[in-house]
Structure 1
Amino acid sequence: MARSDINVNYVFPPSRFTLDEWHHNNQFRYQCSETQRELSDRLLAEATLACDSAKEIVKTNKEETDHRLLEKLNDIEFRKGELQRMRKDIALEIDALFVYKERIINVLKSVKRNALAICERCLIARKCRLSIDLVYDNVETNLLKECEVIQGAENLLDRILKNTYEQIRKLKATLYHIDHDLKNKEDNLHIDRRNVTLKETDFNLSIYHDTSSLDNSVVMLNEWELQTNINVIDANKEMNSAKQLRYYIDTIIKQTIDELNNQKNVTNEAFRQRCEQTREAKTKLELQHSEIIKQVATISSNITHIKKSIAEKEGYIALAHTRLGHRRQRPGIEHTQDLVQVNLVKEINELRNVVANLQRMLCEAEALLRYLLKTQIQLEEDINVKTNTLKIDEVECVTLRQSIDYRAY
């Protein structure tokens, strides 16, 4: 507001004034009074206007601040609700992963419990097979393959278990950031809720008298919004990763247990077929052995019979020789080659041929007997080999393998 400066020079009045001076003085006083009155009226009007304007500005500013505070509170409440919902989902996902971790551990225990050791013990036991039965057969192939399948399953489950631990760690880290953000949001809510309830007439209000800036904010609004958005995005990312991991674990556990059980069944079937083949071969050998024993008895009896027959023929030969000897003592002309003489010679020759034939047959029978006895011993050895193989495969290995138990927990 501009104000006019009035310069008044005071001089000592003369003892007497003129009428013009009197009129001039009255006019001057009137003008001064009018000027001061106008100035006072203008100042009063301006002050009233300023007060009314200030009141409106203050009211508008407070209403705007209250509105912004309520908007901010709603924004924080919304973001807090999103974080709380996300926190709940993450906590549930962590619990679910802990359950899956226990499943993997239990499956690993069922695999590591005895399966590999049993397969290795079966391989070692089968090295004790004898002779021709120490063969690289289908059972051997499947036992070695089963060892590979078991070791592969152990390695795969160990790797998945490590991935599960790592995913749980990431979820816990995400949960930590969300908890930190939630605490900040809660503190912010507490502060701004208190600010909303404050009035200009409240006690214990204070005026900032420091020389530094009133606004000490170091984080821009977009940065504040971005931080919560990043936490939510990271949480969703880890949640999706955890869900995919759980689905992968379900698939892998089923596939692994199915593959282990399939290979176990294939190996068991190989054992069954091999035992059946061995038992069938043993049965045939035993039947052959029984026949050989019978044949040995028959040949032995035949040899005895031949020997007895040869012994009997020796009596006839001796008789014929004795008769010929007696007839050599015939005198003179009586020493004729008559039919008796011819028949005796013929009898001796035929007896010699019969005995020679019996001797040949005796040699052949004795040779056959020796061969049959050798065959009998070989058959007995083969039967013992098959018995040993059956003991290893059917009694030791198959019994051991009955304790193999894979479970998809």
Structure 2
Amino acid sequence: VGCSHEEIFDFAIAGNTAMHHLFLGLPTRHLSLSPYPPVSSRGLEFEASKLGLKGAPDSRAYLFPIVAGFVGGDAVADMIATRIYSDRRISLLIDIGTNAEIILGNKDGLYACSCASGPAFEGAHIKHGMAAMEGAIEKIWIDPETLRVNYKVIGGVKPVGICGSAVVDGIAWMLRSGIIDSKGRMVKGEGMFRMKIEDGLPAMVVASRDEAGIDRDIVITQQDVREIQLAKAAVYTGISILMRRARVRPSDVEKVYLAGAFGTFIDPESARDIGMLPEIPLGRVRFVGNTAGAGARMALISSRTRELAERILGRVKYVELAADRDFQKVFVDALELPNRRRELFPTVNRIIERNISRIRGD
């Protein structure tokens, strides 16, 4: 930013609970033991130099309060940036990473949880997964008539891999086109010229070796589908349980905030169609980017924002998903595409059935 260390007078730090504790040198062993209590949850302020931060001689460092063992100060910063704590309308905030923090509520109260969505959404554990950078396929769509696979690449160069949002796109289109069934199994059929066997399992070729910038086909494998099923089921389960606790239906949610790097790029229609998001009108979905960073910047320049963070903390009810009586059932149902409980996704199922009927000529 073009300034020296001596010109920095204040720091604001928002991160997950584990990073918060490691940064402060606090013990972390208990964070791996139920009920995963943090050593300290309130906001803290120190002389920056005592934390090893280089700034002006009298610079200070503020650390956001944390909600629970798996919902940290970054989630509090998310709430501040989106202002869901003051909105009379019910909002759903999802900050998607290796862990997804989910917050539901309005000015009358907030519920929060964290779910282990895993790194698949960020391209990890995916055969040709990569970060959203030049050469990554960022969007996939399939012509439902010809089953031709189309894609868009970041930077307009030859593709070398697929980022997480494109994998979600690909799976959504495979479902809509009948290439995979509700169990996530790939079904090889007439006209599916892009199908092949990869590592002994079926795979769909997104970019052939001739099209790619690497010396092999770029594919979405059966195992990739499984990884996304696990990740999306975790997110949906968190949302579903919070809605039940708050006595809220999907139709009651007037705003959906998608935050984080993955949340910035994902197609909400694809996320809904695979069953990661409930059936909420797509016009209510907003991409808000790095809200944790935005909230931290607000606290950096305002003592009132820091006081607000403490007040918000007192209004959040943390829900431990694994302890919920319905967790296992909701999660298992959510593994199917879009969900074993078809009545939860009437619009999506109608779209899928209509597309498959058209492909078959029914």
TM-score w.r.t. the length of structure 2 is 0.17
Q: Which has the higher helix share?
A: 1
Larger Rg: 1
User: Which fold has the larger relative contact order, with Cα–Cα distance below 8 Å and residues 6 or more apart in sequence?
Assistant: 1
Using the size of structure 1 for normalisation, the TM-score is 0.15
By percentage of residues, which structure has more strand?
A: 2
